[in-house]
Structure 1
């Protein structure tokens, strides 16, 4: 059965919202661009019309088509104004055509409708398939009209509109692709966190199932032996106590891990490295004697003062030492080494225990992960320690390196800054 993607709807909503925002931004940009371009384009045309209107209002109407100062006659007086070739002027005298400047659009038999042209205002009319911007005004007994054909400007606007539409389509397609990619990137850490939570619950349930099953079985046995004394079932009670302690240890580790994940505060104090080493080593030297193992401690020559979070560094080091003891058999060796390297202290914990398989190295920091080999040897543990170590190292910005060869041993190296911030 195909697993349903619970994040599909969220991813879809992210894409829709992202594309909608991009579309609105592009649409607003398009409207502003087109409006400004159109305004600039036709403002220049209107300015020419009004300039020509002002010029015609300043001259005598009789000079428009007189032999003395024909404004279209190149041989006329230099003081007579000339009409630019892109401007069309039509002059009516008492309703009759008196003058039409040379053009390709109007003639005596084909004139624009006077009713469509407002006096002293810019008007837009269409005539024989052409579009004009124009104005009309009176000068004594004359009515004058000034026209400019704007088909080229309209064509330019159409080309701009087509270019904008094509650009919008291309940009929307790109926005959809990028939104899908970004949505996947955004969902990825959420998906990973969700999967970790699912695995966490599954693994925690698995770890608690065994001790609970043991306790339940022993209690059922005791319930069916109500007439017996405690001495008779001391072994069963002892086993239950052992499983309860395992559950308490698991609960304590989970609380520490959750606290480390949520609370990233650091309590910096001055730490004497030699005192720190002695505090750690005393207990484990005695433990090594009890377990018939060898425990070596290599100190630095100088007595170094450090700015550390004492409790967290101690906890991180203890996790590594206890793992080394746990996975090293009797007669084995565990070595704890402190090295002064520039601005850092290297803490090395090395053992000659069972080591880590290559296929398990990428998962050793996962919560509750324990290799099948370790489970098969009935080595106690919850798989929380290295997860807690990783969380501590992330909080304190400590580097971790792991070197291991299966069957020969493991070495963990912590690169701890001398001065933590």
Structure 2
């Protein structure tokens, strides 16, 4: 994120500098060559030369003008490149200094979220355990507490997962049977798919080297999102380099599509959750160098993971 910001600042500085250099140097070149080519004619009372000699002198002068113009052009180009290089180095330094406080604050925020989420996890688990142990039935107040505790536990888990994604940059690769791994993960999600037609198109992938933990987490996030928003059907396609999850629910509006992977962004404000799931999936994909995209196609919302 900060690398993109730094590069953008450098690009803006270089673009402005290059434009100014181009305009100024072009003006210098045009003015200089124009002045050289429009010198006043020799006075009438000047020494008279024969036609041949006069023509020779004119050719010599014109030749010197052309040489001078070329030398000026080369000098301006070299000077422009040198100035651009200097500006690039200075811009890099200034951009790094400008985003340094923001980066430090962001890193501190990530550590805080990770630590806070970890600390909150224990009391939430204790509350849930005590509610279960109390075994109080048909009490709406207790039911409300259980429901809100479950929401807090889910939110806390997402925050912790997001913080870990930001803090842990190492990618653990291992050889796995992706088909078998996917089938096991989907089996655990079947109870939530009651009433939904789930169509699988899994091509036997054999064993491939991949970050299995991140792949499964992305898979579960995408399927979970499809379950939430589908009407009657979810389609899943998997091969050795691509995962596609599509649902037949209401498609995402064009104005929301560019923001769908942003943190805490919710296209459907009435939906449950806080808009972290897809952001986590995108962060995991980026960390592994995978591509995760979304589009509306054939009245379906389609997520594609290329790995």
Q: Which residue of 275, 299, 302 maps to 1:408?
A: 299
Show the counterpart of 1:339.
Answer: 239
Q: State whether residues 401 and 413 of structure 1, in contact with CA within 8 Å, keep that contact through their aligned partners in structure 2.
A: yes
1:226-261, CA deviations, whole angstroms, 9 ceiling, x for partnerless residues?
xxxx667x1122112111111111111111111111
Higher Cα radius of gyration: 1
Evaluate the alpha carbon distance shift between residue 192 and residue 324 of structure 1 in structure 2; reply closer, same or farther with a 3 A threshold.
farther
Scaled by the length of structure 2, what TM-score is found? 0.57
Evaluate the alpha carbon distance shift between residue 352 and residue 192 of structure 1 in structure 2; reply closer, same or farther with a 3 A threshold.
farther
Distance in 2 (CA, whole Å) between partners of 1:194 and 1:354 is 40
Scaled by the length of structure 1, what TM-score is found? 0.42
Give unpaired runs (5+ residues) of structure 2.
1-8, 10-78, 114-135
Distance in 1 (CA, whole Å) between partners of 2:105 and 2:258 is 17
| RMSD, matched Cα | 3.5
The residue correspondences of 1:158-237 to structure 2 (distance < 5 A) are 178=87, 181-182=91-92, 185-186=95-96, 234-237=139-142
Deviation at 1:401, TM superposition (A): 2.1
Deviation at 1:309, TM superposition (A): 1.9
Evaluate the alpha carbon distance shift between residue 364 and residue 303 of structure 1 in structure 2; reply closer, same or farther with a 3 A threshold.
closer
1:294 and 2:197 are equivalent in the alignment? yes
Evaluate the alpha carbon distance shift between residue 192 and residue 320 of structure 1 in structure 2; reply closer, same or farther with a 3 A threshold.
farther
Distance in 2 (CA, whole Å) between partners of 1:337 and 1:250 is 29
Show the counterpart of 2:274.
Answer: 382
SS at match of 1:359: coil
Q: Which residue of 324, 328, 336 maps to 2:226?
A: 324
Deviation at 1:195, TM superposition (A): 9.8
Show the counterpart of 1:396.
Answer: 288
1:354 and 2:259 are equivalent in the alignment? no
Deviation at 1:196, TM superposition (A): 7.6
- How many residues align? The count is 202
1:309 and 2:214 are equivalent in the alignment? no
Give unpaired runs (5+ residues) of structure 1.
1-10, 12-169, 205-229, 417-421
Tell me which protein shows more helix as a share of its residues: 2
Q: State whether residues 333 and 351 of structure 1, in contact with CA within 8 Å, keep that contact through their aligned partners in structure 2.
A: yes
Distance in 2 (CA, whole Å) between partners of 1:326 and 1:305 is 31
Deviation at 1:364, TM superposition (A): 1.4
